[in-house]
Amino acid sequence: PVPVSVCPPKTNLDLAERKVVNKYYPPEWTPEKGSLNKFMGQHPLRDRARKLNQGILIIRFEMPYNIWCGGCGIHIAQGVRYNAEKKCVGKYFSTKIWNFRFRCHLCPNYIEIQTDPQNSRYVVVKGARQKVETYDPVKVGVMNFESEEEKKKLHEDAFYALEHAQKDKQVAVESAPDLGKLIDHNATMSDDFTLNQLLRKRLRDVKKEDKRARVRMGLSMDAPLLPPSPEDALAAQQAVFHRQASHESVLRKRLSLTAGPLLPGSTSPSSL
């Protein structure tokens, strides 16, 4: 029998995209045997579904925030991805609570993080601790969102809402000059191409000066150059260098030695 290759119907896809969706069907397959995955005895998700009978699916999990590993103590930044085991551990009303279990990339410690639908966040359950990054919005000058009690009071108390609005207007008036300065500064520095060009030119000048310094001192291009310090300057002033004798002085000394007697009290070789 001749192998059958089933291609999708002709569409506006180019040749490369048509190759991607093409599937190979072995000669012993017939349409009565079902799908190709069923015929081959494998799951459509392949190795990711090896623990599906335990309710576990292997996914690519991305860290929602910065954490400290409980095994090696390393800092794991937000956005780092791991192959994690995803499983359902409960429900909050009709919303499932998902648990993600993965291993640290530097130690055998396992970390578990699960969802918290009630507070719309992720919670570290085991193997790590979340990095605390709290701040006072008033001190850093960012917008401070009202709490539920504050929102309720603003909605019910008209005088309190009016007083709150007056405070917001006063803050806007006080911060107007600073905002104007920032806007003017951004307007003068809005040309990204010019800024990039100046930065690259400055970097080239620094590299040229570094190369000239290395050539002047006879250093390799791979040797790191440290910034000058007072200790190095003092050590250079105290260093004593012996002057190397010239070639003519070495010849004169050699001639004087050969012309004189070899032993004390003997005659010179030239007099013989």
How confident is the prediction for the chain on average, in pLDDT?
A: 81
Which has more confidence, 3 or 144?
A: 144
Which has more confidence, 237 or 23?
A: 237
Looking at the DSSP bridge assignments, the partners of residue 98 are: 88
Can you give the pLDDT at residue 65? 92
Integer CA distances (angstroms), 16 to 4, 5, 19, 24, 128, in order: 20, 16, 5, 16, 45
Can you give the pLDDT at residue 268? 57
pLDDT tens per residue across span 130-187: 998 777 766 666 666 667 787 788 788 888 888 888 888 887 888 788 888 888 777 7
Can you give the pLDDT at residue 2? 46
pLDDT band at 272 (very low <50, low <70, confident <90, very high): low
pLDDT tens per residue across span 64-90: 999 999 999 999 999 999 999 999 999
Spacing of C-alpha 62 from chain mean position: 14
Measure the CA–CA gap between 198 and 192, rounded to whole angstroms.
Answer: 10
Helical residues (DSSP H) of 125-246, grouped into ranges: 137-140, 148-156, 158-188, 192-217, 230-238
Query: Does pTM surpass 0.95?
Result: no
Averaged pLDDT, 12-22 = 55
- Of 118-132, 134-148, 222-236, 247-261, give the lowest mean pLDDT range: 134-148
Measure the CA–CA gap between 59 and 56, rounded to whole angstroms.
Answer: 9
Looking at the DSSP bridge assignments, the partners of residue 263 are: none
